[in-house]
Amino acid sequence: MNLDWTALGQVAAVSLAVTVAVVTVFAFGVLGLARHEGTREEVGGTSTLGVAQAGLCFVACAAVVAYGIYLIVPQFH
């Protein structure tokens, strides 16, 4: 059995990079929700920017997950 170590390394590197990126984007989404909650408690108003940030980040995470499922399931091709 012959392994292509370069291809294996590339797959591992891309997987690590995408994982870190998705976790970072998700963390920014949680930060947006925290910003929204903090503004609501302190001032009594709402932070539209915080909600928008959270929404965009969570939609981006959902898109990455949906694309991964699309790549894995052969019936979607």
- The one-digit pLDDT tens for each residue of the chain (77 residues) are 899 999 999 999 999 999 999 999 999 999 999 988 777 666 666 678 889 999 999 999 999 999 999 999 999 88
| DSSP class of 21 | H
The pTM of the full predicted model, rounded to 2 decimals, is 0.82
Structure token digits, residue 34: 């925290």
Residue 77's pLDDT is what? 81
Residue 35's pLDDT is what? 87
Q: How far apart are CA 58 and CA 69, in angstroms?
A: 17
